[in-house]
Amino acid sequence: MNEYRLTEEEYSRILALKRDLHMHPETAGKEIRTTEKIREMLLEIPGVELLPFENPLGTGLVVRIRGSEEGPETALRADIDALPQNEEYESEWKSRVPGVMHACGHDFHAASLVGAAMILSRAAADGALRGTADLIFQPAEEGTRGAAALIEGGLFDVIRPDRIFGIHNWPSVRSGDVVVHEGPLMAGKRNFTITVFGQGGHGSMPHLNIDPIVCAAAVIQSLQTVISRNMNPMDAVLLSVNRIEGGRKANVVAGQVEMSGTVRSLSDRALDRAIERIEAIVKGTAEAYECRHRIDWERRIPAVSNRAEMCVYARKAAAAAAGAECVTDAEPSLASEDFALYGAAGIPSFFYWVGSTPPGEKAEHLHRPCFHTDDSAMKTAAALYAASVLQIS
């Protein structure tokens, strides 16, 4: 198994790809150049077959590497999109696109999966790959629409994986270490927009108006009680209103107020209950203030949860890729990941974190303007993707 790691030459190729993607980041659903660069490099690898899958977003790609006839079909997923924010970290490969940055390391994931294709191609040629590997380069993870688009666009008519593995780089973990966590790892979430409708008018005549700003303030205050009064303190639940907009002038009562936020939990049951309470509180508060209201819920993303039987494979693969001494555990996060939707579609799934902060540096967390990765950890990530296929095939 140990020979199935990146050679120095392969590593230098994926490093060049990663830095090229980093310099030319593209946001969710717009990963046209990114897709092309990944495709170009994949098609140079012997035995990589481009699958005829057109996802509705028009970006990303799925390829296959065939081993022997007998054996399981294993899918590996990397996301490829960047974020709409400015990069502040100085490097030769700093983003050349103002206002767009790979601040979540999806360039690291994509290049690592290309590295895995190189390793799996060699394994297939050696007769060491039993079954099939499907490599999914998924667009639009940010905003969590990509996985849904692929699944609804018929991904599982084209591939039929027995298992699926994904990786996220994780800055707070020592570079090159692999987190194999059993149970919920990343939160289920539902984002929402609440609109409170009042009756606008001159600020001097409150008796003729219905003020939605006062109502919105009461809604936000009351929503704080969902966590403090309705949740089991042993469950991790988060509820935040992160945007509020309404009104334009000092002397005019606004006609409506719009608020957006997110509710998240590692527990699906707690998330159900929080959603139920949000609906009741908004309805009741709006009525109390004589306002009308509307709640627009975005698609629910389930928690990323690693089941015990998948942990057995994952631990084996992680030990083969990184060495048993580098397999570790970590506290779960309330960040969410649309990788959860592959599991929700019934495919046994496992999600790893790979440590990515350069040794000796303080971790710059995901989505920060100075986020950057220790690129040598891509050697671990590429070997880990490959081992997830080879260790169980």
313: left (phi over 0), alpha (psi -120 to 50) or beta: alpha
Quote the least distance from Cβ 337 to Ni ion, whole Å.
Answer: 7
Separation CA 102–CA 109 (nearest Å): 11
CB of 35 to Ni ion, least distance (A): 17
Give the other-Cβ count within 10 Å of 36's Cβ: 12
Half-sphere exposure of 302 (CA within 13 A, CB side): 18
Q: How large is the angle between the packed helices 106-125 and 8-23, nearest 10 degrees?
A: 150
Contact 43, 132 (CB under 8 A): no
**Toward Ni ion, which CB reaches closer, 27 or 256?**
27
Is residue 342 within 8 A of residue 151, CB to CB? The reply is yes
Rounded least distance, CB 104 to Ni ion, Å: 3
Query: Least CB distance from residue 354 to Ni ion, whole Å?
Result: 12
As measured in angstroms, the least distance from the Cβ of 305 to Ni ion is 17
- Alpha-carbon gap, residue 116 to 379, rounded angstroms: 9
Contact set for Ni ion, span 208-267 (CB under 5 A) = none
- CA separation for the pair 174, 75 (Å, rounded): 26
Q: Which residue is nearest to Ni ion (CB)?
A: 104
User: Under the criterion CB under 5 A, does residue 103 sit at the interface with Ni ion?
Assistant: no
CA angle 183, 184, 189 (to 5 degrees): 160
Please identify, among the stretches 16-24, 100-108, 258-266, 352-360, the one whose residues bind Ni ion according to the rule CB under 5 A. 100-108
* Cα distance between residue 390 and residue 91, in whole Å: 36
* Residue 354 found at the interface with Ni ion (CB under 5 A): no
**Which CB atom, from 148 or from 213, has the smaller least distance to Ni ion?**
148
Pick the stretch among 96-104, 125-133, 146-154, 299-307 that binds Ni ion (CB under 5 A): 96-104
Q: How far is the CB of 338 from Ni ion (least distance, A)?
A: 10
104 vs 219, beta carbon nearer Ni ion: 104
CB of 168 to Ni ion, least distance (A): 6
Rounded CA-CA distance 44/14 in Å is 12
- At residue 113, φ and ψ (nearest 5 deg) are -70, -35
Q: Which stretch binds Ni ion (CB under 5 A): 1-9, 36-44, 102-110, 116-124?
A: 102-110
Decide whether 107 or 211 has the Cβ nearer to Ni ion: 107
The binder of Ni ion chosen from 76, 104, 271, 341 (CB under 5 A) = 104
Give the residue with the Cβ less far from Ni ion, 104 or 173: 104
Segment 313 to 342, residues that bind Ni ion, using CB under 5 A: none
Choose between 17 and 270: whose C-beta lies nearer to Ni ion. Answer: 17
**Which residues make up the interface to Ni ion (CB under 5 A)?**
104
